[in-house]
Amino acid sequence: MKPINVGLLGIGTVGGGTFTVLERNADEIARRAGREIRITTVADRNIERAREVAGDSAGQIKFTDDAFAVVRDPDVDIVVELIGGYTVAKDLVLAAIENGKHVVTANKALLAVHGNAIFAAARRREVMVAFEAAVAGGIPIIKALREGLSANRIQWVAGIINGTTNFILSEMRDKGLPFADVLKEAQRLGYAEADPTFDIEGVDAAHKATIMSAIAFGIPMQFDKAHVEGISKLDAVDIAYAEQLGYRIKLLGIARRREQGVELRVHPTLIPARRLLANVEGAMNAVVVQGDAVGATLYYGKGAGAEPTASAVIADLVDITRLHTADPEHRVPHLAFQPDQVRDIPVLPIEETITSYYLRLRVVDKPGVLADITRILADSDISIDAMIQKEPGEGESQTDIIILTHQTVEKNANAAIAKIEALATVQGKVTRLRLETL
């Protein structure tokens, strides 16, 4: 049977890993796919480096610095886009689709922002766009949501889906170090980029949460409506207090179905230490999916790296190869639901979400302070689950109060916090973190 010819756009870390794994496991992959899958064309700005990555196989491959030549090449069946970013990558993917090519991409930013247009174009041209590698690296979470859990009404998805921030939080907890110091160490070790903004401010995780929410609930990509908070303002003292209360702090991407709409949010979150998700350490990723029939399922593994991500890229190549000649009407839909059944369910503003809270207050150590605070919470319909009041240090007149609340609507919490901060006995701002029992 004729081999499937692949055009690879970008042969950096993931592209190089894809090339290596595809070559090393060629026989096994062909046995699964039903025919040989081979990279015949590579586009990269540095052709000499691309040849070095290809090694002994370089003589059988066409190299070019013109990626658009690859997407127009009539001999290429599938285009693998590993360039990243929003702009050139978007033009290349749309050009590939227009030229009748199937597309595999690891580009979560592109799909979260432009996925609706890309999938619509793919449907018109009756080609597939596969993106397992766009979320959680080598963990097959997209396939689980699209296929494995298709019998379920999915209730929520919560995940540690950024390895950089998870490494930083793990180090802050283990060593008691401030954020800035651990970030420098993460950069030295290669876990964090020179410009780590997308990771530490939660943008990368929000791209991935947006994709998972679309597949879980059959809604369009709505990245612009996601609530996004990172970890750069997180204080090591709150990690220590959370530990005393039996919780760990993780940067979570959360998508939850509610009667009024969908919650879509990324932020530092307290999780009970007994939960498996709370014990995911270092640069590892994990996602929990709650379905009505199956209950909670956990997906754990490496969320980045050359070969883990290549594993997902090649799984997509195998899927497309199997379905290459299939009737387009009988392929798995891009967003799991049939295109005419994707519903524009609203994403709720953060003020309408429901969760529990961790509150840390710096207060003057005098009688009646705690009574004033609890009265404000009660008036806002917020009940207290647990509390720590620290003894002031010798010679100090101020101390910390840490409160965990039961679930409430965020706007109620905001109103209560504003009133608490207005008390003369409360010093500065209240530190507020969300809490999920999962």
- Catalytic residue numbers read 208
Q: Among candidates 298, 295, 265, 297, which has minimal Cα distance to 279?
A: 298
Encoding tokens for residue 116?
């609706």
Sign for the pseudo-dihedral over CA of 178, 180, 186, 188: negative
Give the span between the Cα atoms of 265 and 333, in whole angstroms: 25
